[in-house]
Amino acid sequence: MPILTRANKSSRARSLKISKVPLAYTFLALAISLTIAAPQSAFALHRVVPHRHRILHTFRFRGLRGILWNPLFRPTHDSLLRQNDEIDRLELPRIQDDDELEALKASRELVPIETGETLRIDPRLDPSRRFCRPWTRDFVADLAAVYYSQFHDQIQLNSAVRTVKVQKKLRRHNRNAAPVDGDTASSHLAGITVDIQRRGMTKDEIRFVEHRLFYLNALGLVEPEEERHQWVFHIMVSDRYSDWRQTQTIFAIPPTDEPAAAPAVAVNTAASN
């Protein structure tokens, strides 16, 4: 039997103490050593943003969105009421289905919207719904003409008449779509409303359309909204637009109280406009 010296005894005691160290401490020490060896790779996978900074970032982002979206005609509950009041005044039906839609087309109460140099239609719009009331079609044609003369570009029509069936389907995936009945029902159901695409327009182009709509709205001829999620001008057109339009055809320049200097001058002035 070997004789244990004092040195051997102390070495054996140290080895016994080490063997008694829990296994978990061993793994913890290994993890710490690996972290120290590669500090960059250990924390490069996730950057923690302080809570205060996250709140500030969210506030700034939402504030920026609010500044970017600053329309002249915000959608309101009162606007929907006015649109439905006009439909009731005209005693127009809310078109229920395709059978009613086709009957109104056959009677020419709904007329087709024609494309051309100044106007295009979103190809996704069903050809069966590229129709509206005659005065609404006249408004679209006039708006497209003045827009083209100013910017040498087309406007795009995204939506026109809808049926109740189509509106119900739309509401399933668009929570901002108007209801199909009641005082705030969609005015598309009567065929007097169109959506003109606003996405892609420059700031000057948007302001140009807004200013024209502001003038017509002040005359009680249109009820516009600028939708935020669909990025369109939603425009309900009153049948009074037809009478107003005729006055613009007769009077190219607003009449004054003073008589013209000579009939020939008056004729030439009107022709030049």
- Rounded to the nearest 10 degrees, the angle between the axes of helix 134-151 and helix 203-218 is 140
pLDDT of residue 153 exceeding 50: yes
- Specify the pLDDT at position 125: 97
Nearest Cα to Cα of residue 119 among 158, 155, 161, 160: 155
DSSP 8-state symbol, 186: -
Least confident of 38-52, 88-102, 178-192, 258-272: 258-272
Higher pLDDT, 222 or 67: 222
What is d(CA 30, CA 36) in angstroms, rounded to the nearest whole number?
10
Answer yes or no: CATH 3.30.1460 is held by domain 71-250: no
pLDDT at 175: 65
Residue 171, token pair as written in the block? 């509401």
How far is residue 103's CA from residue 248's CA, in Å, rounded to a whole number?
Answer: 32
The pLDDT value given to residue 5: 53
pLDDT in tens, 77-93: 999 999 999 999 999 99
- Listed ranges 161-170, 174-183, 230-239; the one with the highest mean pLDDT: 230-239
Q: Is the pLDDT of residue 14 over 90?
A: no
158 touches 197 (CB < 8 A) = yes
User: Given this model, what pLDDT does residue 230 score?
Assistant: 80
88-97, 139-148, 178-187, 206-215: the lowest-pLDDT one: 178-187
Q: Apex CA 122: angle with CA 238 and CA 242, to 5°?
A: 20
pLDDT at 144 over 90: yes
* CA-to-CA dists, residue 121 to 125, 155, 195, 226, angstroms: 7, 8, 10, 19
What pLDDT is recorded for position 245? 95
Q: Residue 217: which of 73, 85, 91 has the closest Cα?
A: 73
Which DSSP category does 201 fall into? -
Angstrom distance (rounded) from CA 139 to CA 64: 34
The candidate with the shortest Cα–Cα distance to 119, out of 95, 143, 100, 98, is 143
pTM greater than 0.75 (yes/no): no
Give the model's pLDDT for residue 30: 62
pLDDT digits (tens, 9 = 90+) for 28-71: 666 555 555 544 443 343 344 444 444 444 444 444 444 466 78
